[in-house]
A and B are shown apart, each in its own frame.
Chain A
Amino acid sequence: MGKERFKRVFKAGWTNFRRNTYVTFGTTGVMSLVLILFLGLIAVNFLGSVFVQNLESKVDVRLYLTNEATDTDVRAIQSELQTLNSVKFVDYVSRDQALAEFKERHANDALIQQSLAELPDNPLQAWLNIKATDTSQYASIVGFLEANRLRGVIDKINYYDNEVVIQRIQGIATAVQNWGMILTLALAVIAVLVAFNTIRLTIYNQKQEIEIQRLVGASNWFIRAPYMIEGATYGIFATGIALIVFFAALQFASPKVAVLMPDVSLLGYFAGNAFQIVLLTLFAGIALGVTSSYVAIRRFLSV
């Protein structure tokens, strides 16, 4: 009996969806637009996070060591830094490596090559390149180094030269993240309201049918369930349409984004995460449809 009832509810929901052609067309269309907006927000958030990551990857602190610093000193500083949670990694570049890199970088500059050859000793210092987990952590890392017992072997910390730039980048990154979040939430709320009101209107159009069903003796769940199935069906079809439109739009937009951000493949991101994106959109579509139907029908179910 339960299986039969379940089948009837599904059939009734599907019949409503199939037979109310204009309403179905309109509601699915609006739901599709809402889901496209959701997908657009995912894309904007992705681009925002890539932008922030790019900015932050340009920030690091370099610790120049005196020529008297021994290997033991270097290893001690390096391991102490690595114990800090705020430190992502520490790279050591010895004087010889620094010279080799410098020579390679200026391989085509005869004047520099000649000058280096004339110098009696390697003029470059060894350094430690420190990358923090977060740009806001550099000040505390530098503070830790200033108070360190091995401060004597540290010649210079370039943080002080770049402090203003680091803080500005940190400010921009924070602003992009915060405003991105606010914009996403605001648009998501608007999208949910649009979807909800569209389905509410759809159900309002059927209030007479609901009244008839009540008078014939249908229980509230027997009336409500097919509308929830109908809502889910709007969500499923809208998901299909939204994904087709969105991926088609990505084919067009991705190369244009690549011009501005050469390291970024928008299409690659969505294609790489296609399974999750499809599931997420489907979940959003069905949840929106079912919840909107459930809430919208409540007011018509009074005894």
Chain B
Amino acid sequence: MIEFKEVSTVYEDAFVALHGVSFSVAPGEFVSIVGPAGAGKSTLLRLLTRELTPTDGTVSIDGVDLGGIPDDDVPILRRKVGTVFQDFKLLSNRTAFENVAFALEVVGAPTDKIRDDVPKALEIVGLNEKHGNFPHQLSGGEKQRLAIARALIHRPRIILADEPTGNLDMMNSHDVIQLLLKINKLGTTVLLVTHNREIVNLINRRVLTMETGKIIRDQVENGKYIL
């Protein structure tokens, strides 16, 4: 489903973020990507949303080379991938309902569908009571759960989570991970970038360990956080 072939990424300041990275992810997998800061973990995710294109090599989803997608079609790719970030990236002047609805509006979903689906997604993340709250009226954990609701509302086949527990306490982190596991159980492929040792060990799935732009370890089953 997801395939990185000999991918290298060099930033404008000549920093080499990735160096000949190759790996693939099968549909329905839950992959944790770990490593120290600057190892290239977030760069991997940014390549999958076409925020970046590789300097060398190819990144593909379902056999489609993302580097070959015309700029005008990038939004279509992004609608197929749900993203969750450490800083939540919520629209500050929209309510919880509107934030989730926005992801459906961009795909042109009818109003009836939005009216039906958004409360369900909010219920899954436990925020149905706070549908009218603005992001600044929510706690960190609630904000991240809202971001997850937005990421899963259009039923993407892939969810990319970049340090989703980075700003959360242990209890909220646990809730967020349980949600991601639940989504994965329904068949969605999840790529989770994290620093959190306890979380990775708790998940106990495939773990990719990165260092200085390379994958130094790929534990396909029962992976642990080892640095």
Q: Is the CB of A216 within 8 A of B93?
A: no
A216 touching B108 in the complex, CB below 8 Å, given contacts A20-B93, A303-B50: no
Closest Cβ of chain B: how far from A6's Cβ, in Å? Answer: 12
Count of residues in B whose CB is under 8 Å from the partner chain: 29
Partner of B103, one of A15, A20, A216: A216
- Residue of B72, B74, B92, B106 near A222 (CB, 8 A) is B106
**With a CB–CB cut-off of 8 A, which chain B residues contact A212?**
89-91
Chain A residue numbers with a CB within 8 Å of B80 are 217
Contact B93 A19 (CB under 8 A): yes
Asked whether A136 is an interface residue with its Cβ less than 8 Å from the other chain, the reply is no
A209 touches B150 (CB 8 A): no
Inter-chain residue pair count (beta carbon < 8 A): 59
With A303-B50, A303-B71 as contacts: A217 and B89 at CB distance below 8 Å: no
Of the candidates B75, B91, B92, the one whose C-beta lies within 8 Å of that of A217 is: B75
Q: Interface readout for B93-116 with A: 1 if CB under 8 Å, 0 if not?
A: 110001000110111101100000
B106 with A217: CB separation less than 8 A: yes
Check: A218 CB closer than 8 A to any chain B CB: yes
Q: Chain A contacts of B79 at CB under 8 A?
A: 216-217
B155 to chain A, nearest CB (A): 13
* Cα distance, A219 to B98, chains bound together (Å): 18
Q: Known contacts being A215-B83, A219-B75, A303-B74, is A5 close to B93, with CB within 8 Å?
A: no
**Chain A at the B interface: mostly helix, strand, loop or mixed?**
helix
Q: Is B76 an interface residue (CB 8 A)?
A: yes
Q: Which residues of B contact A16 (CB under 8 A)?
A: 93
**In the complex, what residues of B have CB within 8 A of residue A217's CB?**
75-80, 103, 106-107
Chain B's closest residue to A20 (CB) is B93
**Which of B78, B90, B108 lies in contact with A5, CB distance below 8 A?**
B108
Q: Mark A199-228, 1 if CB is under 8 A from B, else 0.
A: 000000000110111111111101000000
- Nearest residue (CB) in B for A215 is B83
Taken together as a complex, chains A and B put the C-alpha atoms of A211 and B98 apart, in Å, by: 17
Q: How far is the CB of A218 from chain B (nearest CB, A)?
A: 4
In the bound complex, do residue A215 and residue B93 qualify as a contact, i.e. CB atoms below 8 Å apart?
Answer: no
Query: A215 to B78, Cβ gap below 8 A?
Result: yes
CB nearest neighbor in B for A18:
B93
Contacts of A8 in B (CB 8 A): 105
A1 at the interface (CB under 8 A from B): yes
Q: Give the nearest-CB partner of B107 in chain A.
A: A217
Pairwise interchain contact B94-A216, C-beta atoms closer than 8 A:
no
B49 within 8 A of A: yes
Chain A stretch 210-266: residues in CB contact (< 8 A) with chain B: 211-220, 222
Give which listed residue, B50, B51, B72, B150, contacts A216 with CB less than 8 A. Answer: B150
Docked Cα-Cα span, A91 to B167, in Å, equals 91
> Does chain B have a CB within 8 A of A4?
yes
Flag if B93 contacts A209 (CB, 8 Å): yes
Complex interface residues of chain B between 66 and 90 (CB less than 8 A to chain A):
71-72, 74-80, 83, 89-90
B residues within 8 A CB of A15?
93-94, 98
**Chain B contacts with A in 6-24, Cβ cutoff 8 A:** none
Instruction: Say how far B146's CB is from chain A's closest CB, in angstroms.
Output: 12
Residue numbers of B with Cβ under 8 A of A are 49-51, 71-72, 74-80, 83, 89-94, 98, 102-103, 105-108, 110-111, 150
7 shortest interchain CB distances as A-B pairs:
A217-B78, A217-B79, A218-B106, A19-B93, A303-B71, A212-B89, A219-B75
